[in-house]
Chain A
Amino acid sequence: MIQELVALAGHLKDLGLAIEEAPETLAVANPVAATVRAVVAVDGEVYVSFGGMIVGSVDDPAAAADRIAHLLGMIQP
Chain B
Amino acid sequence: MPALLGAGRDSLIHQALLYGSETEFTEEALAFLAEGRGADDALVVIAPPDRIDLLRPGLPPECEFREAAGYFTTPPRSIATAVSVGRDRWWKDGGRVRVVAEQVWKGRDPVEVREWKRFEALVNVVFAGTRTSLLCAYDLRTVPSDVMRIVERTHHGLDYEPPARVYAELDRAPLLPQTGQVAHRGFVRGELPGLRDFTAKAAAVFGLTAAMPLIMAVNEVATNIIKHGGGSGSLLVWSDGGAVICDLLDPVGRVEDRFLGFLPPSPDQPSGAGMWMVRQLCDLVEIRSGGTGTIFRLTARLP
Contacts and interface: CB of A to CB of B under 8 A. Distances in A.
Contacts of B232: 35-36, 75
A52 B249 contact: no
Interface string A17-42: 00000000100000001011111110
Main secondary structure of the interface of B (DSSP, over half): strand
Contact of B185 (A38, A46, A50, A74): A74
Nearest to B287: A51
A53 B174 contact: yes
A41 B288 CA distance: 14
Given A36-B234, A37-B251, A53 B184 contact: no
Interface residues of A, number: 25
Interface stretch (B72-80, B84-92, B121-129, B291-299): B291-299
A7 to B, nearest CB: 18
Contacts, number: 86
A35 B295 CA distance: 17
B48 interface: no
A71 interface: yes
B79 to A, nearest CB: 23
Interface in B165-200: 171, 174-177, 184-188
Given A46-B174, A71-B249, A52 B295 contact: yes
Interface in B261-281: none
A39 B249 CA distance: 11
B249 to A, nearest CB: 5
Interface residues of B, number: 30
A56 interface: yes
B234 A74 contact: yes
B199 to A, nearest CB: 15
A53 to B, nearest CB: 5
A55 B292 CA distance: 12
A72 B232 CA distance: 12
B186 A76 contact: yes
Interface of B: 171, 174-177, 184-188, 230, 232-234, 247, 249-252, 254-255, 287-295
Interface of A: 25, 33, 35-41, 43, 46, 48-56, 67, 71, 74-76
